[in-house]
Every structure is written in C-alpha cells, then in structure tokens.
Structure 1
Amino acid sequence: MTTFPEDMDPELVERLVTSGGGELTRKMGVEFVELSASHSVARMPVEGNRQVVGLLHGGAHVVLGEALGSISSAIHAGRGRYAVGIEINATHSRSVTEGWVTATCEALVLGRTLTTHQTVVRDDQGRRLSTIRMTNMLRDE
C-alpha cells in the first residue's frame, strides 16, 4: 500500500491510484511504497524485466528512477502545476538476475521552477545496483 503526504493534491493521488503510476510502470510490476516530494520508495521484480542475457535491463533501472523522480517532482509542483523531465542519467554499478530491486529517491533540489532527484536502486541484499539523477522543469497548467 502506497503512503502519500497528507497535503498532496487529491487529483494527483487519484491519477496515481487509478493508473498505477502509468502504463509502463504497471507493465513492469512497479509497486510504489512511499511517495513525497523529498523521499519516495518503490520496488520492482527482476523477473519480466530482464534483457536477453538474463540481467535486469538497464532501461528498467532508468524507468524506475524516472517514475520516482517525476512523481516526486509533481508532488512538489502542487496543484495547477506539472513536472516535465529535462535531463536524466544513470550509472550502473552492479547487475542482478533474480529477486526484487528497491529504489529510494531523494530530492537534491526542490526549487520553484526546477527539481533534481537522485534515485539509488538496490538488490535484495542492499547492494547498490545503479544511481539515477533526474532534473524536472515545473510548469503551470
């Protein structure tokens, strides 16, 4: 069950609940655990998200990081505003072939027009697999 901040825009909560965070994250089996502007957590199964040689696909790491960074930025943006990703990068440090991965997203910058979040993806043993940094521009609707 996902926890949301009490002051979060109810329309955004409704969209997240009904969409499961979007079509791609739903297809990948992403489970959102905790969502806020400054700290968010999600998990994802390795099974179903592997590349041809059996490793968790590097793009799956990035999807997980982008989902958390985008949602965290949208929460920070607030009602009547939205977040648009303008930069993302990833460093993969270790591979995994089974189990689940857990991603923890922390805000580095929560500004009026820009946000930057860093997401660290870890395996079931707590080993760092990748680090994803994402910057979003905040816009008025």
Structure 2
Amino acid sequence: MSPRKKRRITMIVLGLSLLVAASGLIIVGIGQGGQFFRLPSEIAENPPGARTIRLGGLVKDWTRGATHEFTVTDTQTDIRVQFTGIVPDLFEEGADTIVTGHMEDGVFIATEVLAKHDEEYRPKELTDAFEDRGIELTN
C-alpha cells in the first residue's frame, strides 16, 4: 500500500473517530441538560434519588435562619427545601424560584437558590412547565 493511501485511510479513520466522540458528547449533554428544572409534581411521580437536579416552583412557608427552610410548590405538590447560605435579595414567599440540589430523606437539600428578578417577569421555562401540567398561575 502506498504512503499516500495509508495517510488517506488514517485521516478517514481519525475523522470518523472524532465524529463518533462528538456525537457521544452531544447525546450525553442532551440527556443531562434536556430539561432546565423539574416541578414538585414531577419529582413526586419520579423521584431523582440522590443525583443533583433543579427544582422549580413557587416559594411558600419560608423560615429564615442559618439554614433557610421553605417549601417549593407547583400548587399541586409541595417539597420541603433546606438551604445553608445567603438567599438572593428578591427571594420571598410567593416568588418563582429554581433551586439546585438533591433529595435526602424526603427533603430537598439545596446548594444554589435562584429567584426571579422582577414582578413582571416569569421565566418562560417555568410558565411552560406549569402550563404543560394544566396549572394556572397568576402574577
């Protein structure tokens, strides 16, 4: 086999290998990030185990302290949340929130808390998720 033909075959094999690797990364990325967050009802129907997820909904029953305790609800299901740290200034009862963390003994242990940034804005993802489940929200 000529050196030119060997080089061409090597380049084709290398190109196909890169294509397979890139496709695998895309598939894994879609599987992990296909949904920005899950509603409490979705978590109740399909518990995530100990893996890290995002939980989205409305804040209620907030107890302030070194460890903040509050409930995230989608008006159908409530999930109790604990968070140690500083919550955003706009975090309050009735506000939209998305928290990152994991379930532990029936309580969501949050490592990050996000809150909506003004009274007029509700993230499209949150609105869509509520609408998909037939839940009507008022601002």
Task: Output the TM-score relative to the length of structure 1.
Answer: 0.28
Between structures 1 and 2, the one with greater strand share? 1
Task: Output the TM-score relative to the length of structure 2.
Answer: 0.28
Structure whose CA Rg is larger: 2
Taking CA–CA contacts closer than 8 Å with sequence separation of 6 or more, which of the two structures ends up with the larger relative contact order?
1
